[in-house]
Chains A and B, each alone.
Chain A
Amino acid sequence: MSCSIADLKKGERGIITDSSSDSIPLKLLEMGCLPGNEVTLLQLAPFADPMYLNVNGSHLAIRKETAALILIDKIDE
Chain B
Amino acid sequence: MSKQINVALIGNPNTGKTSVFNALTGLNQKVGNYPGITVDKKEGVCKLSRNLKAHIIDLPGTYSINASSIDENVVVELLLNKNDKDYPDVAVIVSDVENLKRNLLLFTQIKDLKIPSILVINMADRMKRKGISLNIPLLEEKLHTKIAVVSTRKNEGISELKALIEDYRNISTEPCLDTSTIDNTYFESLKKTFPDQELYKLWLVICQDVNFGKVDRNAPDISEFKTKSESDIKRLQQKETIKRYQFINNVLKEGQTIDKSKATDLRSRFDRVLTHKVWGYVIFFAILLLIFQAIYDWASVPMDFIDASFASLADWVKEVLPAGVFTNLLAEGVVAGIGGVVIFIPQIAFLFLFISVLEESGYMSRVVFLMDRVMRRFGLSGKSVVPLISGTACAIPAVMATRNIESWKERLITILVTPFTTCSARLPVYLIIIALVIPEGSFLGFSYQALTLMLLYILGFGSAVFAAYILNKVLKTKSKSFFVIEMPSYKVPLLKNVGLTVLEKTKTFVFEAGKIILAISIILWVLASYGPGDFNNAETIVTAENPNLSEVELEDEIASFKLEHSYIGIVGKAIEPAIKPLGYDWKIGIGLVTSFAAREVFVGTLATIYSVGSANDNEDEDTIKSKMAAETYSNGAKVFTLASGISLLLFYAFAMQCMSTLAIVKRETKSWKWPIIQLIGMSAIAYIIALIAFQFLK
Please indicate whether A and B come from the same complex rather than being unrelated chains: yes
CB proximity of B98 to chain A, nearest CB, Å:
8
Scan residues 16-42 of chain A and give those whose CB is less than 8 A from a CB of chain B: 20, 22-23, 25-32, 34-35, 42
Q: Mark A64-77, 1 if CB is under 8 A from B, else 0.
A: 01100000000000
Which residue in A25, A50, A58, A65 is a CB contact (below 8 Å) of B406? A25
| Chain B residues closer than 8 Å to A63, beta-carbon distance | 372, 481-483
* Closest chain B residue, CB of each to CB of A65: B481
Do B488 and A59 touch across chains, with their CB atoms under 8 A apart?
yes
Do B373 and A46 touch across chains, with their CB atoms under 8 A apart?
yes
| Chain B residues closer than 8 Å to A42, beta-carbon distance | 268, 271
* Closest chain A residue, CB of each to CB of B485: A61
Do A45 and B372 touch across chains, with their CB atoms under 8 A apart?
yes
* Closest chain A residue, CB of each to CB of B382: A50
CB proximity of A49 to chain B, nearest CB, Å:
5
Do B241 and A29 touch across chains, with their CB atoms under 8 A apart?
yes
Do A27 and B373 touch across chains, with their CB atoms under 8 A apart?
no
Do A50 and B242 touch across chains, with their CB atoms under 8 A apart?
no
- Interchain residue pairs with CB less than 8 A apart (26): A25-B482, A30-B63, A30-B64, A30-B102, A31-B102, A31-B486, A32-B101, A32-B245, A34-B241, A46-B373, A50-B382, A50-B483, A52-B487, A56-B102, A57-B99, A58-B99, A58-B486, A59-B267, A60-B485, A61-B365, A61-B372, A61-B487, A62-B484, A65-B481, A66-B482, A66-B483
The size of the chain A interface, using a CB distance under 8 A, is: 31
| Chain B residues closer than 8 Å to A60, beta-carbon distance | 484-487
Chain B interface residues toward A at CB < 8 A: 63-64, 66, 68, 98-99, 101-102, 105, 231, 234-235, 237-238, 241-242, 245, 267-268, 271-272, 275, 277, 365, 368-370, 372-374, 382, 406, 480-489
What 9 pairs between A and B have smallest CB-CB spacing? A59-B487, A30-B64, A63-B483, A61-B369, A58-B102, A62-B484, A47-B373, A61-B485, A50-B372
Do B102 and A27 touch across chains, with their CB atoms under 8 A apart?
no
| Chain A residues closer than 8 Å to B242, beta-carbon distance | 34-35
| Chain B residues closer than 8 Å to A66, beta-carbon distance | 482-484
Do B63 and A61 touch across chains, with their CB atoms under 8 A apart?
no
Total A-B residue contacts, Cβ distance less than 8 Å = 106
Do B237 and A26 touch across chains, with their CB atoms under 8 A apart?
yes
Q: In the docked arrangement, what's the CA distance between A39 and B272, Å?
A: 19
Q: In the docked arrangement, what's the CA distance between A28 and B238, Å?
A: 10
Q: In the docked arrangement, what's the CA distance between A65 and B406, Å?
A: 14
- With contact pairs A22-B231, A25-B68, A56-B102 given, residues A45 and B241 touching in the complex (Cβ less than 8 Å): no
* Closest chain A residue, CB of each to CB of B406: A25
Other A-B pairs, 6, CB within 8 Å; known A30-B63, A61-B368, A65-B481? A20-B238, A26-B64, A50-B373, A59-B486, A59-B489, A63-B372
* Closest chain B residue, CB of each to CB of A64: B373
| Chain A residues closer than 8 Å to B365, beta-carbon distance | 61
* Closest chain B residue, CB of each to CB of A63: B483
Q: In the docked arrangement, what's the CA distance between A23 and B481, Å?
A: 10
Q: In the docked arrangement, what's the CA distance between A27 and B483, Å?
A: 10
Count chain A CB atoms within 10 A of each CB in B237, B272, B370, B373 and give the residue with the most: B373
- With contact pairs A25-B482, A62-B483 given, residues A30 and B373 touching in the complex (Cβ less than 8 Å): no
Do A26 and B373 touch across chains, with their CB atoms under 8 A apart?
no
Do B484 and A28 touch across chains, with their CB atoms under 8 A apart?
yes
* Closest chain A residue, CB of each to CB of B105: A30
CB proximity of B11 to chain A, nearest CB, Å:
14
Do B66 and A61 touch across chains, with their CB atoms under 8 A apart?
no
Do B102 and A26 touch across chains, with their CB atoms under 8 A apart?
no
| Chain A residues closer than 8 Å to B68, beta-carbon distance | 25-27
Q: In the docked arrangement, what's the CA distance between A59 and B101, Å?
A: 12
